[in-house]
Structure 1
Amino acid sequence: MQTPDTLAPEAAPEIVASPELLVNAMRRDTVPDKNLDMIRNILFGEQLRDLERKNASLERFVRVSINALAEDTQRKLDALQNDLRLVKDLLIEEAKARREEHQGARHRLEKNERFLDELAKRMTTEVTKLDQQLEASHKDLIRQLHETAEQLRHEKADRKAVAAILNGMAKQLFDVEKVEAL
């Protein structure tokens, strides 16, 4: 068996390698690796194990932190979604209430408009009737005045007769005012 110190220089590689040559080459390569691993273990073994422990601890810490962060984030997202749902429901209810209030106000406005239209028609009718009555009374009074004036002209009454007539009219008016005052 050859040791790493006594190895002979190798010949140029053949194009076709046989399985035996490959096994021998692997055996020669593993021997120096074992020695090298042992030297590494002696020199850096404790530091390497410390680093591996720290790395494992750090991995656990990162994993736990990520899980806690994920849970916290999920909890906050759930709370936010719940708040958004509540706000959405409140906005829907408020919009519905405003729509109903608007419809009620529109209904009341239409009702008031109909009432005002009806009242305006009634007032117009009453004003027309009063105008007609006033016009009739006015015409009647003018007619009476004309008749009285005509009578006076036909009778050619003297001033005393006119004074007596006017005095009588004044008494009648005075009596009518007394009656109306009672």
Structure 2
Amino acid sequence: MNPPEEYINSNSGELAKGGANQFSNNSISESSNLDKVRDLLFGNQIREVDKRFVRLEERLVKELTNIRDETRKRLDNLENYIKKEVDSLAERLKNEQIERGNAVQALGEEQRNISITLDKKFAQLEEQTTNSQRNLHDQILNQSKSLQDDIQQKYEEILALLEREAEELRRDKIDRSKLAALFTDLAIRLNGENS
């Protein structure tokens, strides 16, 4: 609190004369008196407020520690949860990749089996076709041989028939010659008897 100007002006001479020490001592005693008065008037309240501040500060520190611990705990739980979810997703992804790989492999195996089956079917079909061709060829050969035998037999029969017919024709021709000669001889005889 600043002293009034009158007090300063009236005491300025005393200060100049060496009363500075006295003013200083008066200030200190006034200050200590003021502290005492203040302590008497407000000491209990100030101490109470200080205690409250200390308790409040302790409470705040405790609350902050609890909040920090709770936050750390929640963050750890959240981190563990996220880690578990990421691990679970990674595991599911890995399993899905394995399943897809197995499916592709199974599909490849199935295609291989289909290919093998088709190859076997084609081989069987080719073998059946070859056997059918061979059988058909054998049948054609047999029929051809049978036909050839029939033709040969017919040829021989016709040839024999022709020979028989030719023989008969020759015989008939010879008989006609003989008959002509016989007639000629008969005519000569008849002419000879008539003359």
Indicate the TM-score class for this superposition, using the shorter chain for normalisation: 0.5 to 0.7
Structure 1 unaligned segments of length 5 or more: list them.
Answer: 1-5, 12-19, 156-182
- Distance, in Å, in 2 between the alignment partners of 1:105 and 1:141 is 51
Find the counterpart in structure 1 of residue 92 from structure 2. Answer: 94
Among 40, 45, 52, the alignment partner of 2:38 is 40
Residue 11 of structure 2: SS of its match in structure 1? coil
| CA deviation map 1:108-147 (0-9, x unaligned) | 2222222222221221232233234445555666787788
Q: Which residue of 2 aligns with 1:60?
A: 58
What are structure 2's unaligned runs of at least 5 residues? 1-6, 155-195
Match 1:10 to one of 9, 12, 35: 12
Work out the CA distance in 2 between the residues paired with 1:144 and 1:22: 160
How many residues of Structure 1 are paired with residues of Structure 2 in the alignment? 148
Larger radius of gyration between Structure 1 and Structure 2? 2
Structure 2 distance, partners of 1:31, 1:41, is 15
List aligned pairs for 1:22-171, cutoff 5 A. Answer: 26-135=24-133, 137=135
- % of aligned pairs identical? 18
With 25-34 and 96-105 compared, the bigger mean Cα shift is at 25-34
Comparing both structures, which one devotes a greater share of its residues to helix? 2
Please tell me the residue identity of whatever aligns with 2:69.
Answer: E
CA RMSD of aligned residues (A): 4.2
Calculate the TM-score normalised by the size of structure 1.
Answer: 0.56
Aligned-residue offset at 1:34: 2.0
Structure-2 separation of matches of 1:123 and 1:22: 130
- In the superposition, the TM-score normalised over structure 2's length comes to 0.53
CA displacement at 1:28 relative to structure 2: 4.5
Residues 63-120 of structure 1 deviation map (CA, whole Å, 9 limit, x = unaligned)? 2222222222222222333333333333333333333332222222222222222221
The 2-side partners of 1:90 and 1:130 are apart by 57
Cα gap change, 1:109 to 1:10, in 2 (>3 Å): same
Q: Deviations over 1:15-38 (max 9, x none)?
A: xxxxx9997765443233223223
Name the CA distance, whole Å, in 2 between partners of 1:22 and 1:82: 74
